[in-house]
């Protein structure tokens, strides 16, 4: 079994794979400062709650867009799981080639999503991740990461509404029955959700138009991705485990010569 960890700006998503089967997942908040011992104890306990002992782990891999947590997290993994975690970054084998102007500027999470989308669904494919930011990454038929678009995420947009406007309240992110809202909460929900659906559809159509790729497969993931994917025909597949699968795939490509 291997432990895979996706460190996002808001949450860390952790998963355990036995072969290609995802045995379990759990989440931790990213923004809470923790020592290596705290990470180690928490991860060990979470694994035990799922019936997994750290001695069963043969390895681990981490993709992070939050550099500040890496020293403590990696130290905790080494000390408490007795693995030498692979860190997704420059020089690691991925199976795709980044052909953008600044390859080193592509976040580890986007690389992982691209790898999973290409390996699981083949190219050309557009990987859309509804996370803290909403990202759209284009991978060609040859496995080239050729372009990426970044937009504010759904939750960021909702927080901007109620934190920056004094009279607007916090609200649940869900699609109201109608866009013709008649009170404050549903008007905010309508603007946020229908606005995100419209943005998603326009960006996907524009990517197809400018790339000239009409047979582009669109794969979505991310916590709120299901909400949007269910409301548009522009998204072909919703895959909740896309990022974790990408980490497993990259681990398998690097297991004989892991990058520390």
Catalytic amino acids? 109
**CA–CA distance from 52 to each of 48, 57, 218 (Å)?**
5, 9, 35
Q: How far apart are CA 140 and CA 246, in angstroms?
A: 17
Return the bridge partners of 137, or none.
127, 148
Contact 89, 257 (CB under 8 A): no
Backbone angles phi, psi at 227, to 5 degrees: -55, -40
List, in sequence order, every residue forming a beta bridge with 219; answer none if it has no partner: 127, 237
């Amino acid at each position: 079994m291997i432990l895979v960890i996706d460190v996002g700006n808001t949450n860390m998503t952790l998963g355990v794979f036995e072969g290609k089967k995802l045995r379990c997942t759990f989440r931790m908040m990213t923004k809470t400062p923790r020592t290596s011992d705290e990470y180690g104890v928490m991860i060990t306990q979470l694994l035990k709650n799922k019936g997994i002992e750290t001695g069963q782990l043969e390895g681990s891999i981490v993709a992070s867009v939050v550099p500040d947590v890496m020293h403590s997290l990696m130290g905790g993994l080494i000390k408490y799981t007795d693995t030498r975690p692979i860190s997704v970054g420059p020089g690691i084998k991925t199976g795709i080639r980044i052909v953008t102007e600044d390859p080193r500027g592509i976040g580890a999470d986007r690389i992982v999503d691209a790898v999973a989308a290409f390996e699981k669904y083949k190219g050309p494919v557009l990987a859309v991740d509804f996370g803290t930011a909403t990202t759209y990454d284009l991978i060609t038929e040859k496995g080239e990461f050729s372009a990426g678009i970044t937009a504010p995420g759904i939750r960021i947009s909702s927080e901007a509404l109620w934190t920056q406007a004094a009279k607007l309240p916090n609200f649940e992110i869900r699609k109201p029955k109608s866009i013709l809202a008649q009170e404050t909460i549903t008007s905010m929900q309508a603007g946020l959700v229908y606005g995100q659906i419209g943005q998603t559809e326009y960006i996907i159509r524009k990517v197809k138009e400018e790339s000239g790729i009409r047979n582009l497969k669109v794969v979505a993931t991310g916590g709120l991705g299901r909400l949007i994917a269910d409301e548009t025909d522009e998204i072909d597949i919703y895959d909740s485990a896309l990022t974790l699968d990408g980490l497993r795939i990259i681990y398998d490509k690097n297991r004989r010569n892991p990058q520390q």
